[in-house]
Amino acid sequence: MALSELTPESNLGLRLLAYSNERFPLWQAAGQFPMFLTAYTVGRMMVGERPAFTLNLFLGCLALIAYTLMVRCIDDHKDAPHDNAYYPERVLQRGIVTFTNLKVVAILCVLLIVGVSLYIDRGIGLATMWLLLIFITNNLVQFVQVKWASLGEWLEARRVLLALTVIPFWGFGSVWAAQMGAGKQLVTAQVWWLVASWCVAALLLEIARKSRTPEDTRDSVVDYTKETSSWTTSLGLRGTVVTLLVLATAVTAIEAGMLNALGVGVWWAYLALGLTLLLPIGAGIRFAVRPDRFTAKDVSETSAGLWLIGQIICSVALFLVH
C-alpha cells in the first residue's frame, strides 16, 4: 500500500511501518550493529573472554536499537509544535499514527531495554547500573526541554550547544554495551578508548546528519551550515566542513589507539582506517576547490560513512587478531 493511501483507519502495523520508514528507517537500525559489536567485543576482551557471537550480543544490540527508537518517539513529542508548522506531510502530522501510538511504542521499548539488561545481569547488576545512568542523564535533558519550553527553545536556537547534549547518552551507552559483553566483571579503564570514540562519533553523526542538502533551501530545516554571527547557533558552510574533517580525523585516531591498547593493532587495520579517512579528506579537498553545498554534502556523507566503516574494521580486527 502506498503512503498516500494510508489513513488513520488503516492496519496499525502498516501505519507504524510507514512511521518507521520515515523517522527510523531500517538502515539506521542496521547501522548500529557494527558499533555495538565492537563495544560488546571490547567488553569481553577486557575481562579475558574471547570474541564470540552470543545470544547476549544480539539481545544487547536489540536493546540499543530500542533505546534509540524510544528517543525518536520522545523527540517527536518534543518537536511537535515545530513539525506541525513546517512538516505537515509527515505521517505523524497527518494523523496516520498518533502521539498515543508513539507513547505505547516508547513504553514497549523501555520494557525491552530494561528486560535485556536484567536478563544479561541475571538480576540487577552492572549493565543495569550503566543503563540507569543513561536514563538519568539523557532523559533528564529531554525532560528539561519539555518541562521548561523556554529553555528548550533557547537550546534549539543554539544547535551547536544542543549537539553537545547527545554526548552523555553515547558515552554511557558505550560503557553499557561493553559491560553487557563483560558480564559480571566490571569493565577496565581501557573502556575510555571506547567512550572517546563514541562521543566524538556522536558529534560527527549529529552534524553530518543535519547539514542541509543542496536541494532543501527551507529556513525551517535544522541545519549546521547556515551562516550566523555566533558559532553556538550554527557553524556556517566552511565551519561545518572543517569541523567534520577534524572529528573524522579524531575518531579514526581514537579507533587506532583503541586497537593498539587492546593488543590487536595490526598494520592492515591501521591501513584500512587510514584509507577510509581519505574519503572525507578527498571530499574536503574538492570543497576547497569548489566550496558549495554540493561538495559540502559529499563531506558530510563520507564523514558519516567513515564511522560505520571504521567500526566494521575494528570488529574484524578484534575477531581475527585475537
The x, y and z cell numbers of residue 229, run together, are: 554571527
**Nearest partner of 275 among 233, 306, 299, judged by Cα:** 306
Tell me the pTM.
Answer: 0.91
What are the extents of the domains in the chain?
1-188, 189-322
Distance of CA 267 to the CA centre of its chain: 28
CA distance 101 to 14: 13
Which pLDDT score, from 0 to 100, does residue 220 have?
Answer: 60
CB 164 within 8 A of CB 200: no
Residue 88 has pLDDT above 90, yes or no: no
The Cα 294–Cα 10 span in angstroms is 39
> What's the pLDDT tens digit per position in 50-76?
999 999 999 999 999 999 999 999 889
Counting residues of the chain whose pLDDT is more than 70, the rounded percentage is: 94
* Identity of the highest mean pLDDT range in 90-99, 190-199, 220-229: 190-199
pLDDT of 18 strictly over 70: yes
The string of pLDDT tens digits covering residues 267-312 is: 999 999 999 999 999 999 999 999 988 899 999 999 999 999 999 9
pLDDT at res. 75: 86
Residue with cell 523517522: 23
Which of 3-17, 151-165, 166-180 ranks highest by mean pLDDT? 166-180
- Res. 214 pLDDT band, cuts 50 70 90: low
Q: How many residues does the chain have?
A: 322
Question: Residue 241 and residue 238: Cα distance in Å, rounded?
Answer: 5
Residue of higher predicted confidence among 54 and 235:
54
The predicted structure's pLDDT at residue 218: 62
Over the chain, what is the mean pLDDT?
89
Q: Mind listing the pLDDT tens digit for each residue in 141-152?
A: 777 776 777 777
Residue type, 159: R
Q: Looking at residue 97, what is its pLDDT? A: 93
| pLDDT: which is higher, 26 or 159 | 26
Q: What is the 3-state secondary structure (H, E, C) of the chain?
A: CCHHHCCCCCCHHHHHHHHHHHHCCHHHHHCHHHHHHHHHHHHHHHCCCCCCCCHHHHHHHHHHHHHHHHHHHHHHHHCHHHHHHHCCCCCCCCCCCCHHHHHHHHHHHHHHHHHHHHHHHCCCCHHHHHHHHHHHHHHHHHHHHHHCHHHHHHHHCCHHHHHHCCHHHHHHHHHHHHHHHHCCCCCCCCHHHHHHHHHHHHHHHHHHHCCCCCCCCCCCCCCCCCCCCCCCCCCHHHHHHHHHHHHHHHHHHHHHHHHHHCCCCCHHHHHHHHHHHHHHHHHHHHHHHCCCHHHHHHHHHHHHHHHHHHHHHHHHHHHHHC
d(CA 308, CA 28): 11
Does the 1-188 domain belong in CATH 1.10.357?
yes
Q: What is the pLDDT of residues 89-109, one digit of tens each?
A: 899 999 999 999 999 999 999
Per the model's pLDDT, the better-predicted residue between 320 and 222 turns out to be 320
